[in-house]
Amino acid sequence: MGKTTVASAVGVKEYSPTVVSISDGGYQQAKAKANSQSIVRQLMQLIPGLGFSDDPFTDEIKEELKKGYMKSWYELNPSRYFVAADGNWVECDSEKKMLSHEKADKFVLDVYVAFNYSQQAFGALKNEEPAKHDLIGKIRTKFNKYVSNRLSELKNDAKRIYREDNGIKTERAPTALFYDWLTAPDKGALAVIRQRCINAKAKGDETADLAKLDKALASFKGALK
């Protein structure tokens, strides 16, 4: 089965099998889900607490997972090639094209290069080479988001599998009564109105009369009871 490259929601590319029909798409969707669940189950055996702990990832485990995520990211986002021109870095179509500019300064960028800079060295680039800092910064930001999303997915998938395997049902909290929702002291609608009045008064809004508002709110709550 051939594979195509498609854009994902987080700005990286993903390789997906070519879907030749609706039924084939259903088959591949189910197969991908089964493969994903198998991987999560195996990781649950390797990572203590994964599936029932709110924070199963130690720093060491995060680093190990990050190595895998970085390998995947690199496969989906291979090295890019740049040459210096007029104080900027101009991207080339290929390494060969970059090397053809014999006299120009050259720069190869990928996720490994981006994270080879220490935080201190990366920060120093902002003043020393702002254009390069910007390019590297975009890779670091996107990859960090990618890692965060993968960790969240792994934890949530493991929790779902753990609950299913152990017959644990997720009980939904009862919906608050309308009056309780309206008058909740911290996040209730009336509390939000009162806080907005306080904020407006602090900014010099002469129409924000807290005493009058408190009297009106008291009357309003009394009428609802």
* Tokens standing for residue 157: 């998938």
Tokens for 171? 């009980």
Predicted local confidence at residue 169, as pLDDT = 85
- Position 7 scores a pLDDT of 38
Q: Are strands 3-7 and 106-109 parallel, antiparallel or unpaired?
A: unpaired
Q: Letter for the amino acid at 129? A: E
Cα-to-chain-centroid distance, residue 180: 34
**C-alpha 54, offset from chain centre:** 18
Q: Which residues of the chain have pLDDT under 50?
A: 1-12
Pair 8, 14: CB distance under 8 Å: yes
pLDDT value of position 87: 85
**Are 114 and 136 a contacting pair, CB within 8 Å?**
yes
Amino acid sitting at position 167: G
pLDDT of 170 reads: 75
| Beta-carbon contacts of residue 95 (< 8 Å; ≥ 6 apart) | 79, 81, 108
Which of these, 27, 9, 30, lies nearest to 19 by C-alpha position? Answer: 27
Contact 159, 51 (CB under 8 A): yes
Q: Which residues contact 184 (CB under 8 A, 6 or more apart)?
A: 176, 191
Among all chains, which residue has been given the structure tokens 């909740």? 184
- pLDDT, residue 46, reads 97
Residue 50 has φ and ψ, to the nearest 5°, of: -65, 120
Which pLDDT score, from 0 to 100, does residue 211 have? 92
Token pair for 179: 């009056």
Which run of H or E residues covers position 16?
A: strand 13-17
The confidence score (pLDDT) of residue 13 equals 53
Residues in CB range of 37: below 8 A, 6 or more apart: 157, 161
